[in-house]
């Protein structure tokens, strides 16, 4: 009976083990090359995004500096960033400090509008500013804008509209003045007549007084409109309205 040759496995074969090791190293090297390529591409993308972010920040800085309104960026109500324009409203504002509006700013009737400045200081006239705050999580955006000129323009426009309306009203009311005025002149001419009886003279005088009162009422209505004062509600009887219309 002959003995069989010993079975040599791959694990005990140095050449086969070296081949497997070489293949594993080749795979590792290929994967390493892929990772290096991906890392280089990722780094290039990061550099590109960083460059774009830097350019965007520069453009944002230029834009903020060009905005005439004051702009403040807050985080947890701490000043992170502000443009130079805001210093005309808040000279002591600085980054890193807690933000709050000055206590001497007088709140207006309109929400978010404040009257600032000292009325007695001619070198620093009073201004009306509008404060807009937008909260987004822990960050807030605050805009402070001088609206003094806008309010003055609005008031001037309202004044011109009132004057235009007053002109139209004056043209219409002239016709209402003409009738009682002509009637009053007629009654006054009768009173100057020596042949008028005392009873008729008294009647003419009463009618003349009524016409003059109507003219006075028209004048008061016109003055009330010009001064823009609210009209008062007055209860009147139907008989009184009929008598005034006659």
Looking at the DSSP bridge assignments, the partners of residue 164 are none
Under a CB-based contact definition with an 8 Å cutoff, are residues 137 and 150 in contact? no
Q: Which structure tokens are listed for 219?
A: 């004048």
When mean pLDDT is compared over 5-19, 90-104, 110-124, the highest value belongs to 90-104
Q: Residue 182 pLDDT > 50, yes or no?
A: yes
Q: Residue 5 pLDDT > 50, yes or no?
A: no
Under a CB-based contact definition with an 8 Å cutoff, are residues 68 and 80 in contact? no
Distance (Å, whole) CA 109 – CA 26: 79
Question: What DSSP element (H or E) covers 12?
Answer: none
Under a CB-based contact definition with an 8 Å cutoff, are residues 88 and 68 in contact? no
- Report pLDDT for 11: 54
* Burial category of 233 from C-beta neighbours within 10 Å (exposed 0-12, middle 13-18, buried 19 and up): exposed
- Report pLDDT for 172: 78
Looking at the DSSP bridge assignments, the partners of residue 75 are 78, 139
Residues 211-245 have pLDDT tens digits of 788 778 877 877 776 675 555 555 555 666 666 65
- Report pLDDT for 180: 75
Find, among 110, 142, 146, the residue nearest to 128 by Cα: 146
CATH code for the part of the protein at 68-146? 3.30.450
Distance (Å, whole) CA 143 – CA 157: 26
All residues at 6 or more sequence positions from 124 whose CB lies less than 8 Å from its CB, including other chains: 117, 118
Distance (Å, whole) CA 167 – CA 161: 10
Distance (Å, whole) CA 218 – CA 212: 10
Q: Which structure tokens are listed for 162?
A: 């009132």
What confidence tier does 202 reach under pLDDT thresholds 50, 70, 90?
confident
Distance (Å, whole) CA 15 – CA 19: 6
What confidence tier does 78 reach under pLDDT thresholds 50, 70, 90?
very high
Collapsing DSSP to helix, strand or coil, 73 comes out as: strand
Output DSSP code: residue 54.
H
When mean pLDDT is compared over 75-84, 173-182, 223-232, the highest value belongs to 75-84
Domain 163-233: give its CATH architecture: Orthogonal Bundle (1.10)
- Tell me the percentage of the chain whose pLDDT exceeds 70: 83
Residues 22-53 have pLDDT tens digits of 888 888 888 888 888 888 889 999 999 988 88
Q: For the whole model, what pTM was predicted?
A: 0.49
Distance (Å, whole) CA 121 – CA 157: 28
- Report pLDDT for 114: 92
SS (H, E, C) 122-145: CCCCCEEEEEEEEEECCEEEEEEE
């Amino acid at each position: 009976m002959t003995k069989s040759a010993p079975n040599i496995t791959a694990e005990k074969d140095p050449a086969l083990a070296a081949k497997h090791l070489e293949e594993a190293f080749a795979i590792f090297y290929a994967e390493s090359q892929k990772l290096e390529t991906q890392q280089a591409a990722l780094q290039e993308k990061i550099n590109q995004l960083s460059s774009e972010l830097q350019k965007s920040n520069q453009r944002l800085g230029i834009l903020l500096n060009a905005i005439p309104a004051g702009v403040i960026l807050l985080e947890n109500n701490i000043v992170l960033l502000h443009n130079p324009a805001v210093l005309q409203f808040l000279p002591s504002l600085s980054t890193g400090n807690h933000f709050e509006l000055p206590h001497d700013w007088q709140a207006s009737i309109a929400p978010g509008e404040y009257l600032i400045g000292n009325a007695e200081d001619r070198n620093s006239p009073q201004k009306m500013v509008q404060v807009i705050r937008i909260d987004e999580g822990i960050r807030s955006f605050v805009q402070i804008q001088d609206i003094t000129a806008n309010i003055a323009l609005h008031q001037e426009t309202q004044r011109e509209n009132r004057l235009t309306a007053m002109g139209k009203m004056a043209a219409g009311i002239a016709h209402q003045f003409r009738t009682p005025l002509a009637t009053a002149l007629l009654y006054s001419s009768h009173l100057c007549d020596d042949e008028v009886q005392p009873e008729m003279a008294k009647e003419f005088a009463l009618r003349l007084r009524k016409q003059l009162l109507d003219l006075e009422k028209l004048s008061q209505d016109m003055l009330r409109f010009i001064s823009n004062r609210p009209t008062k509600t007055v209860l009147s009887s139907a008989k009184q309205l009929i008598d005034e219309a006659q």
